[in-house]
Structure formats: structure tokens, C-alpha cells
Structure 1
Amino acid sequence: MSSIAKIAAAAALAVPVLVGTAGTAQASTPAGCSSVTQIGSTATFSSGGQTMASVKQYKGCNKNYAYLYVWQGYRNTHSSWDVCATVLSNSHDIEDVSCGATQNPVEVWSFGAATLSKCTQAMGWKGEGPFPDPGDPVAKTDTRC
């Protein structure tokens, strides 16, 4: 087999691997908990007509966590942003707000709330804490009991 044929064969084998993983955002894990499982839906919010971030709720290590991920497309077209995430219980009680520790965070994990026995949802927003200001773009996941 010629060198060109070997390169072509290797490239053909690599394409399905790249296609299968393109666009998939893999969340890290929250501080102090190495294993979490997503519960409920994923919510998104937009800012200026562009999808900015995804918000998810996770459970693990006897806690609930909110997770926010700022989309690559938004990061590519904006130079500055602030975001926060929290777990809500009883549809409005803020449990564990965490805002980006650095300027322009890519992801934010809430600190973890001991709320596994309560109905909860994750909330994320563009802005600063400890809660969203009127007009801040906000997303909430579905409520999980």
C-alpha cells in the first residue's frame, strides 16, 4: 500500500471519531465531588439575541448542584461577561449561589446544596450575584423532586 493510500485510510477512519464528538460539551465535576449525575432538563438563555449559556442540575455526594456552561459561539463574539448559578428549592429559595471566580468564566458550578429531600431546580443567569437583577437573562431547569 502506498503512503498516500495509508494516509487516506487513516483519515477515513478518523472522520467518524471527530464527527461523533463534535459539539459535545463535557462538564467537569464540582469541587469536592468527583461523581455527579445530571437530573432533569437542560435550559438555555440568550443575551443580545445569541444563545449564551446552558444550565443543568446535577446530584452527587449527597447534594444538588447547578452547572452553567457559556457556549463557545458566545465566547467567540464577546469580550466580557459575568455569570452565576444556583440551586433553587421551593421554586424560589436560593440555596448556594456561585458566580464565576474569574473574568469571563467558561463554566460555573454552584457550591452544592443539601437539598436531595426537597424539590429543586437549577438556575443560571448573566450578571453578578447574589441573585439576578430585573432584566438579566435567566434560565431555569425543570423542577425535580
Structure 2
Amino acid sequence: MNTHPGKILSSIVSAKRLNLCLATSKDAYPVGTVFHSLVHLRRHGLQANKLRPCWTEPSSVPECLLSSLETFTWEKYEGIKEEKEVAAFILRSASCLKKVTISSKATDSDKKLELIKELSFSARRSPTCQLAFD
């Protein structure tokens, strides 16, 4: 079945809560789509047998990051380059963000600690943003 995430996402622009598991960042935010009411975004990691996501930072910050996103949850975070770039972009751009929860797939405690340090030192636009790690 051939699906078009951009078409689906553009039809639910009034969503307040959104759970995403998309192959690429291009699918995640179709040009011209604005989620004015988005308050909670959950990003799932991909399974090991799936293609790795690609990330190209958008030329402008999506409106929902500037005006409404308060909670961001990332499940199965691995800490690969693309994931680090996406997480840093969200932390740097989201001005209303209150809580970020990262659930790591890492089982090695040293690797998990390194991921926590990297994200903890990322610049945050919202001064009240809390980072939580599972």
C-alpha cells in the first residue's frame, strides 16, 4: 500500500496531540502545513530493519514550535546523527516547550549517560523546559 503522510498530516492540522513514526523528516512536516493547536508531539524511533531517517533542517521554524508545542516525547531514541540534529532543532526552536521526555534504546549505561549529557547541553529556547530521560 502506498501511503502519503504529507496528505494525511495536512488533513489533521487542528490536532492537539500527534504521534509520529515516519521514514524521513520530509514526510514529517509537509510544506505549507501548520499545526496551530499542537501541544503534544510524540516521535517513535524506527525498527532496526527499517530505513534510517534523513534530516534536512527546514529553512523556517514550523509555527507550532514557536507558538504552541508544550510536550515532546521521543521513544526508542538511539542517538544517531540525524536524531541528535532533530532533537537539537526542536529544543533550540520550541519557545513554549515545558517538558521533553527521551526514552533511549541504549542498554549500555555508558552510552545512555553520553546521550543524556549531549541532550542536556543542547541549547533550549524555552527557559522553563525540563528534560526527562527513561
User: Which one has the bigger strand percentage?
Assistant: 1
TM-score normalized by structure 2? 0.26
Q: Larger radius of gyration, structure 1 or 2?
A: 1
